[in-house]
Chain A
Amino acid sequence: MGKVKLGVYICHCGININSTVDVEKLTRFAATLPQVTVAKNYIYLCSDPGQELIKNDIKQQGLNRIVVASCSPRMHEPTFRNVLRAAGLNPYCLEVANIREHCSWVHEDREQATLKAQGLLASAVAKARLLEPLEEKEVAVIPTALVIGGGIAGIQAALEIADKGFKVYLVEKEPSIGGHMMQLDKTFPTLDCSACILTPKMSDVGNHPNIELLTYSEVTDVKGYIGNFKVTIKKKPRYIIEDKCNACGTCASYCPVEMPDEFNMNLSKTKCLYIPFPQAVPARYVINPAYCRYTLRRECKQCEPVCKDLKAIDLKQKETFIEIDVGTIVVATGFDTFDPRLKPELGYGLYPNVITGLEFERLSSASGPTLGDIIINGKKPQNVVFVQCVGSRDKTLGNEYCSRVCCMYTAKQAHLVKDKIPDARVTVFYIDVRAFGKGFEEFYDRVKEEGIVYRRGNVSEVFKRGDTLIVRTEDTLLGHPVEVEADLVVLAVGMVPRIDSGAIAKLLKLSQSPDRFLYEAHPKLRPMDTASDGVFLAGCCQGPKDIPDTVAQACGAASRASTPLAQGKVKTEAMVSYADERTCRGCELCVEVCPYEAIELRTIERDGHLLQVAHVNEVICKGCGQCVAACLCGAMQQKSFTDEQMLSMIAALGERYE
């Protein structure tokens, strides 16, 4: 590239920088630094005229290194790289000095702040002198997506991607897709039948030519990178051959073993050779090996001869592993409901008439154990108390967040009680009612007018006096303690991250936010992306959501996941690591610390000896720099962050400026 000709551009950012840092002085200072040909300042460098200014200088003055002193590179580094690209310069010949977040925003003293900005700028100039042009590589994308989780989020995402013409693998760990939404009775605030609006989508998934459905399966390993993921999936044994079973159900009628029906929240029994629910997709039976007498003790086998025509029962089935290649991944693993046993004062697990909101859904559902009659302890309850915020907004449990759905599902459930048992007395204890969505406030209003009593108070305990349950709290509007009798208490349990969300995060190299839900790349502008390129989030795995929000996010994640598939190729990171074969001693420390498995040892010949040295796969490397920090002999370097470049920055920072 020949002689270095540096251009320095200092941004006022309106008054964001200019009010604290003397940009005129900073510009005069920049002009004194070695090899700086141009030093200018401008009110908004990110604006079109600002960009033009840099472009023209590059072209007219032959600049070949650019330093921009402005906001954080997280904001506008891509903008200025494009400026360099448009002016015919390699985009990696840019260095950004952050004099806003790191300087003007955090200091008050103008003189001192200007001195610090000088240091930061001199440091960036020192590095820019040593920058080398870098090359962005492109790799081909496998035009297939993987969706993990078959609840409403995963179903929606899979359908969206499949409709765009790409193949989708949908992996669900339960025997049927459907998730929590399938268990709900009615949805708020429209009172649609939840199953009725979900089952058409489920059968679309089952019938879609582009969707390969893998139920009763789990993702056990993910290798590779955006465009080229290698995923291992464990298929658990169903003991029923999926291709042969026609869901006639004869076998189940012969099965002698009963077990709690998980779909009905264990409120009823089912056979251990069962179909989760009548509309299951795939409509295939399954045997629960934790209950089956054959899988447990090699006894019984009553089912096998019954299926003599189809021969669909295979009690010797073993788990199998399959490997698939996909370009992008959508994580839609959903949530668990909060376990109210962690709040023992509420008496859940102790009193049978204290139930969770999800149990109420099954109790009220026409497909539930009571066929939709709200019956507890053999009779219709007359005094029903709903307790809000169980497991949400509770610092003592480490769940500070609002679960976003409980206020409205409680309002809906209170309405259902009033609808089915008109003379019942229904009380709702709440902290605040958050009716924020479309039609929510109207619904809440309607429910109150139906005669449901809303009382403000965080319930302190549920206990038994004689044969009656007492719900005790302080009514914080009246300012005194109250006790309400109840023969049914419904706990509005919130959402918590799935018990295995930590494992999922580890598998896909995702991070978790402080509430333990999966972390999005940016809370506002990249809500479906993650820190792992090519992996996207949909639904409640990212945080509590209602159904419309989940569907919207799933469509968004599907769209994001389809973009690389449609483009057919992706650019890889340019600022990758590389090992100097002459100094590497093959200690493997870098191999150990690399979170992307991008480094391997290779045998080379040096001075007639065969030895092992590190080799970085530049396509996989994300440029995190951990290997560079770990390397003991300085053989591992990262492009644009070489030792020479970093030391020159530090040296410049150490100078005294006036």
Chain B
Amino acid sequence: MRSVLVEDGQLPPKIRDVLKSISVRGNPWNIGQEKRSEWAQGLNVKGIADAEILYYVGCTPAFDPRLQKVAMCLATALTKGGVNFGILGNDEVCCGNEIRRMGDIWSFDALKEMNLEMFKQFPIKQIITTSPHCYNTFKNEYPELSVDIKHYTQVVHELIKKKKLKFTKTLEKTVTYHDPCFLGRQNQIFDEPRAILKSIPGLRFVEMDRARERSLCCEGGGGRMWIEAHEAKERTATIRVQDALDHGAEILATACPFCILTLEDAVKSSGFEDRIKICDIMELVNQVME
């Protein structure tokens, strides 16, 4: 349906701008690619040419100031865990998930070609993604890609299990977890994120009633990140924050860049900023690492 509209050129101006940004700049945020690896400055992150595992950062964690923190936390943890990883740096381009959802299947195919060409140049054994959306795209929509694809929660969970990541501090907070659609429902990754949270010393984990397959959508995927809903009376993100508060959580943790942004917006717009915080799992892990 959306692809028909895109083909006809009948699309909202904001979506048009996103599509244009991706085709011109290789990312949906309309920021120059030369700034793509700025987040990694001072972290000593290798280029992929010197490593065997690719950390595919993704557009939003690379450019959005709020989410650059998540990328930094993750890169730090991977380094401490002894993972031999590298990044594509400024050469990384969008995986194409969002434009595909917006209906531009043609640009998606072009981006896929570009990425496959790029990956081929290096002997990559594994790709780790920040975003469940990139994870899903590489895993399920790049059938030509035969590399092992992992979401970071799977990798970090392994590191904790093998005692390669050690926690020396405690986090005395009540934390609940929101399952992102593309991690949970779409790809059945429910247990690893919870296991990571439960392994954090001092942390009290509470489960919301609507958890796992019954989680709510945050309304950030499918291209909704860039567009305001008409007459949005009730946002699911707002309901979600209320759910977390009802279950006594002080921190609502999740593992998806879009979820972080939409849930944080919901916290601000409902005026709950002093009652609950939205955090990526990696930000919590980072607080207790040695």
Contact = CB atoms under 8 A, between A and B. Distances in A.
A464 interface: yes
A350 B208 CA distance: 13
B209 A344 contact: no
A483 to B, nearest CB: 10
A345 B209 contact: no
A221 interface: no
A347 B214 CA distance: 8
A461 B234 contact: no
Interface string B206-241: 000110111000000000000000000010000000
A235 B272 CA distance: 66
A464 B243 CA distance: 10
B214 A461 contact: yes
B234 A345 contact: no
Contacts of B234: 481
Interface string B195-214: 00000000000000110111
A39 B210 CA distance: 76
A463 B215 CA distance: 10
Contacts of A344: 212-214
B209 A463 contact: yes
A350 B214 CA distance: 11
Interface of B: 209-210, 212-214, 234
Contacts of A464: 209
Nearest to B209: A464
A345 B210 CA distance: 8
Interface string A343-366: 011010010000000000000000
14 contacts: A344-B212, A344-B213, A344-B214, A345-B213, A345-B214, A347-B214, A350-B214, A461-B210, A461-B214, A463-B209, A463-B210, A463-B214, A464-B209, A481-B234
Interface residues of A, number: 8
Contacts of B210: 461, 463
B68 to A, nearest CB: 34
A463 B209 CA distance: 7
A142 B210 CA distance: 60
Contacts, number: 14
Contacts of A481: 234
Contacts of A347: 214
A481 B212 CA distance: 23
Interface of A: 344-345, 347, 350, 461, 463-464, 481
Give the interface centre of B209, B212, B214, B234 by most chain A CB atoms within 10 Å: B214
Contacts of A350: 214
A345 B214 CA distance: 5
Nearest to B213: A344
A464 B247 CA distance: 12
Contacts of A345: 213-214
Give the interface centre of A344, A461, A464, A481 by most chain B CB atoms within 10 Å: A344
A345 B216 CA distance: 9
Contacts of B214: 344-345, 347, 350, 461, 463
Contacts of A463: 209-210, 214
Nearest to A341: B213
Contacts of B213: 344-345
Give the interface centre of A463, A464, A481 by most chain B CB atoms within 10 Å: A463
Given A347-B214, A464-B209, 12 more contacts: A344-B212, A344-B213, A344-B214, A345-B213, A345-B214, A350-B214, A461-B210, A461-B214, A463-B209, A463-B210, A463-B214, A481-B234
B267 to A, nearest CB: 20
A461 B212 CA distance: 13
Contacts of B212: 344
B248 to A, nearest CB: 14
B227 to A, nearest CB: 20
B102 to A, nearest CB: 22
A469 to B, nearest CB: 10
Nearest to A345: B214
Nearest to A462: B214
A482 to B, nearest CB: 12
A463 B234 CA distance: 17
Nearest to A351: B209
A563 to B, nearest CB: 51
Nearest to A464: B209
A328 B92 CA distance: 68
Contacts of B209: 463-464
Nearest to B234: A481
Nearest to A463: B210
A350 to B, nearest CB: 8
A463 to B, nearest CB: 5
A344 B210 CA distance: 10
A495 to B, nearest CB: 23
A495 B212 CA distance: 26
B205 to A, nearest CB: 18
A398 to B, nearest CB: 17
A480 to B, nearest CB: 9
Nearest to A346: B214
A453 to B, nearest CB: 23
A278 to B, nearest CB: 40
A445 B166 CA distance: 67
A646 to B, nearest CB: 39
B220 to A, nearest CB: 18
A461 B209 CA distance: 12
B188 to A, nearest CB: 12
B219 to A, nearest CB: 14
A463 B211 CA distance: 10
B225 to A, nearest CB: 22
A390 to B, nearest CB: 15
A481 to B, nearest CB: 7
A345 B211 CA distance: 10
A463 B216 CA distance: 11
A461 B215 CA distance: 10
Nearest to A481: B234
B237 to A, nearest CB: 15
Nearest to A472: B239
B86 to A, nearest CB: 39
A181 to B, nearest CB: 33
A9 B249 CA distance: 84
Nearest first, the 9 closest Cβ-Cβ pairs linking A and B are: A344-B213, A464-B209, A344-B214, A463-B210, A345-B214, A463-B209, A461-B214, A347-B214, A345-B213
B244 to A, nearest CB: 14
A491 to B, nearest CB: 15
A201 B253 CA distance: 61
Contacts of A461: 210, 214
A464 B246 CA distance: 11
A147 B212 CA distance: 45
A464 to B, nearest CB: 5
A227 B66 CA distance: 77
A293 to B, nearest CB: 36
A347 B212 CA distance: 12
A104 B212 CA distance: 56
A605 to B, nearest CB: 57
A460 B75 CA distance: 39
A201 to B, nearest CB: 42
Nearest to B242: A465
A463 B246 CA distance: 13
A439 B234 CA distance: 43
A344 B213 CA distance: 6
A349 to B, nearest CB: 11
B181 to A, nearest CB: 12
A350 B210 CA distance: 10
A350 B211 CA distance: 11
A325 to B, nearest CB: 50
A481 B229 CA distance: 15
A207 to B, nearest CB: 50
